[in-house]
Amino acid sequence: MKIFFNQLQPLTEGFRPCKRCRPDLQNYLTTKEQLIEKAIKVMSHTYSKEINLSELARELYVSPFYLQKIFKNKLGISPAQYLKIKRIESAKELMINSRLSMTEIALEVGFKNSAHFSSVFRKIVGVSPTAFRSALQGD
């Protein structure tokens, strides 16, 4: 009897995966990875609404400190930073695919006012929202 220590070893020796349990199709995530995926899913669906770390943690049944810690350790950014990036990406899509004003876009993606939107956009993208849209239109 031979013991294999990973899924690739038996394949290199000519064996096939078990047809009953299908270990080749299983995706094993740690509980921390599952929590991060759930947090990202929640933020992706609610990015246009006001949501803070405490509310997000409560929805996921964990403490805010724990959520912040594992999110930052795994992704290198905080949930708040992720949310800002998600909002900016959505704003860029709206700039490309709609004729909404910058204020309308800012409110649509969850910013309270266009000045804050412009500041965050410039920090993340490197140019103002107006310059970004102008570059898209070739002006």
Q: What is the pLDDT of residues 79-136, one digit of tens each?
A: 999 999 999 999 999 999 999 999 999 999 999 999 999 999 999 999 999 999 998 8
Contact between 61 and 34 (Cβ < 8 Å): no
φ/ψ (deg, to 5) at 39 = -60, -45
Residue-wise pLDDT for 25-62, tens only, equals: 777 778 999 999 999 999 999 999 988 999 999 999 99
Provide the pLDDT for residue 15: 86
* Same domain, residue pair 63 and 88: no
Residue 88 falls inside a structural domain = yes
* Same domain, residue pair 100 and 52: no
CA 116 to chain CA mean position, Å: 21
Question: What's the structural domain count of the chain?
Answer: 2
Average pLDDT of the chain? 90
* Same domain, residue pair 71 and 91: no
* Same domain, residue pair 35 and 67: yes
CATH number for position 110:
1.10.10.60
Upper half-sphere CA count for residue 139 (Cβ side, 13 Å): 7
* Same domain, residue pair 24 and 73: yes
Q: Which domain holds residue 41?
A: 16-77
